[in-house]
Amino acid sequence: MSEHVFALSKKQEYEEKIFEAVQATFENLIFSEIEKVDQEFHSDGEFLFLDIMEPYRGFFVVSIPRPMASEIASTVLSIDEKMLTESLLVDTSGEVLNTVAGHFLRSIVPESGQFNLGLPRTVNARELPEANAINMHFSISGEVLGISLRW
């Protein structure tokens, strides 16, 4: 598989594709509408991190507020929010990130449409490498989700 490079010149296209990916994911998972909001991407705390390994090189970083993570997990797993563990919240949020990344990559990967992602993991902001970034925020069910495509 040949390697492709993300380009800042395609920022608007990537933003549109990320919006579509987040919109499709949240409409299908928790039946919620999303709205893009302007906000600075906060650079402290913990994030979910997902490597994009082929055909592009980069990564997604996402910040999902705990109430949103709880709503997603309880809806997807069909269990009461009181029964959710931290592990279930992280795992379900990781699946959301994986779904968003997969949707995004299917929309931009040429030829065969094949791509390779790593496994979602929790990282501290201090562990994030410096990189080019497209940062976006979405209001979903009264909470704000932050997502960043970096390379």
For the chain, which domains are there? 8-150 (3.40.1550.10)
| pLDDT, position 141 | 86
Query: Which DSSP string do the residues of 83-133 spell out, in sequence order?
Result: G--HHHHHHHHHHHHHHHHHHHHHHH--TT---EE---EEEEGGGPPP--E
| pLDDT, position 5 | 84
More confident residue, 2 or 30: 30
In 3D space, the residue among 103, 123, 122 whose CA is nearest the CA of residue 113 turns out to be: 103
Mean of pLDDT values over 122-135: 90
pTM: 0.92
In the structure, what pLDDT confidence band is assigned to residue 43 with cuts at 50, 70 and 90?
low
Query: Which DSSP string do the residues of 25-76 spell out, in sequence order?
Result: HHHHHS---EEEE------SSEEEEEEEEESB-EEEEEE--HHHHHHHHHHH
More confident residue, 101 or 128: 101
Place of tokens 């608007």: 12
Structural tokens at position 73: 């997990």
Structural tokens at position 101: 């990344």
| pLDDT, position 2 | 60
Q: Are 149 and 18 in contact (CB under 8 A)?
A: yes
> What single-letter amino acid sits at 44?
D
Percent of the chain surpassing pLDDT 70: 97
In the structure, what pLDDT confidence band is assigned to residue 41 with cuts at 50, 70 and 90?
confident
